[in-house]
Copies of this chain bind each other. A is one copy, B any other.
């Protein structure tokens, strides 16, 4: 037998023992243990719309029509120039700038955009560039996508939550948090949030809430990190203007992703970071340029072939993805409707007709939340998977402190309408256990 090196716990980064990193593991284990269960857990786009075979030829289109001047020796080597080391911040910033102008009303220069390995790398770049000093704190709405807080903890950066729910972000708590930190000599640098159909709450901020948040950021000297992951997935209303496009938007760092609009396996995202940074007396650089230094040490480049797929796709669609994503928007919309209808039909009522269990009616996105009469967690999830054949995600997974919560997140993005209805029928049977007779 080969000798084994056994490393003690003292050898390993304690951030890796963070319970937040274990919860997704538990969810995967449940999924593997009960493969026949209907999963209302994963926040994935449906594969039916990926059409990878039809997407790869966009590489050729980008090579024919794209701006390859940022690629080395592109004139001599055509497509092979995509194989070389390239510009750290990527080669499709200009096309993404046109996309942002058309689809989001965001005005950005191509040079202010860093093309990243999904939005996840973009979060790391924000944290590494902006929260790198002792006393720096990253704020995130709470609950939120766990990748932001997880990255902060991995990188040794303190993260503090600002309460939010499906009805809004608590701006009073935001102000108090920033002031409390300041009294301790610490500085809140950034606040991470999603303004449209947020994961996991489904929250969409109204335009007036967006304006109030921008004013708060201004008065608290805070940068906002706006995650636009779900901005295309509007079902009942027209898209609202992103924070980045509104007055005061210069305080916003915008994160984009092609995971939901094209497919996740591309690992294509970006960050818009045109803020100016003093780098020496009288000299400034763009935040995107500072981020490029960090990116050169994380991933060197975003794979140029993946950039070319998106670049060619944007060229072929005149730099708008609104029409391109319609089939999947319609599909997920239908699954949402089926899920809501099934909840109306199957969820338990009291004798007087009232509902002991409530749920949200999100106007878009991938998720809704259900509020149970008491906190639920792993034990209830396991029981529900085993006895009722349906899985979901406890809201506690998304809370910074993992505290018990009576809420759960249901995803309707990765199921057909029939699966959504059947999943809810099963879930409703499980819900009966929570009703006082």
A258 to chain B, nearest CB (A): 11
Q: A83-B265, A303-B266 are in contact. Are A290 and B250 (CB under 8 A)?
A: no
In the complex, per-residue mask of A1-33: 1 if CB is within 8 Å of any chain B CB, else 0: 011111111111111110001001000000000
Does A330 lie at the interface of the complex (its beta carbon under 8 Å from any beta carbon of B)? Answer: no
Is there a chain B Cβ closer than 8 Å to A110's Cβ? no
Which of A17, A21, A52, A306 has the most CB atoms of chain B within a 10 A radius of its CB?
A: A52
Q: A342 near B: Cβ within 8 Å?
A: no
Give the distance to chain B from A256, nearest Cβ to Cβ, in Å.
Answer: 15
The docked-state distance in angstroms from the alpha carbon of A360 to that of B28 is 53
Knowing A6-B284, A276-B4, the reply to whether A84 touches B44 (Cβ < 8 A) is: yes
- Inter-chain contact A107/B2, CB cutoff 8 Å: yes
A181 lies within 8 A of chain B by Cβ: no
Interface residues of A toward B: which range? 35 or more
Contact (A265, B86) CB under 8 Å given A5-B276, A294-B154:
yes
Is B120 a contact partner of A299 (Cβ separation < 8 A)? yes
CA distance A44 to B86 in the complex (A): 11
Chain A, residues 143-164, CB within 8 Å of chain B (1/0): the string is 0000100110011100000000
Cβ of A6 to closest chain B Cβ, rounded Å:
5
- A317 to chain B: closest CB distance in Å? 18
Decide if B7 touches A124 in the complex (CB within 8 Å): no
A83 and B52 in contact, given A8-B278, A275-B5 (Cβ under 8 angstroms): yes
**In the complex, what residues of B have CB within 8 A of residue A293's CB?**
16, 21, 154
How far is it, in angstroms, between the C-alpha of A24 and the C-alpha of B88 when the chains are bound? 12
A290 touches B12 (CB 8 A): yes
- Which residues of B lie under 8 Å from residue A80 when comparing CB positions? 47-48, 50-53, 263
A7 with B287, Cβ < 8 A, contacts A298-B124, A306-B306 known: yes
In Å, the complex CA distance between A118 and B299 comes to 7
Residues on B with C-beta less than 8 A from A223 are: 5
- Segment touching B, from A128-136, A228-236, A388-396: A128-136
What CA separation (Å) do A280 and B107 show in the bound complex? 51
- Residues 274 to 333 of chain A near chain B (Cβ within 8 Å): 275-280, 284, 287, 290, 293-294, 296-306
Interface residues of A (CB under 8 A from B): 2-17, 21, 24, 42, 44, 47-48, 50-53, 56, 59, 73, 76-77, 79-86, 107, 117-118, 120-121, 124, 128-133, 147, 150-151, 154-156, 189, 223, 248, 250-251, 259, 263-267, 275-280, 284, 287, 290, 293-294, 296-306
Q: Can you list 19 pairs linking A and B with CB atoms under 8 Å apart?
A: A7-B277, A13-B129, A16-B129, A21-B296, A21-B297, A44-B84, A47-B83, A51-B80, A52-B80, A53-B80, A83-B263, A118-B300, A121-B298, A147-B296, A154-B293, A155-B156, A265-B304, A266-B303, A267-B300
Contact indicator B267/A303 (Cβ below 8 Å): yes
CA distance A47 to B56 in the complex (A): 21
Q: Which residues on B sit within 8 Å (CB–CB) of A154?
A: 128, 293-294, 297-298
- Please, which residues of chain B bring their CB within 8 A of the CB of A124? 297-298
Asked whether B300 lies within 8 Å of A303 as measured between CB atoms, the reply is no
Q: Is the CB of B83 within 8 A of A264?
A: yes
Residues B14 and A298 in contact, CB atoms below 8 Å apart:
no
Q: Measured between C-beta atoms, what is the minimum distance from A2 to chain B in Å?
A: 6
Minimum C-beta distance from A59 to chain B (A): 8
Identity of the chain B residue whose Cβ is nearest the Cβ of A300 in the assembled complex: B120
Asked if B13 and A303 make an inter-chain contact with CB atoms under 8 angstroms apart, the answer reads no
Instruction: For A302, give its contact among B47, B82, B267, B284 (CB under 8 Å).
Output: B267
- A264 partner, pick from B85, B118, B151, beta carbons under 8 A: B85
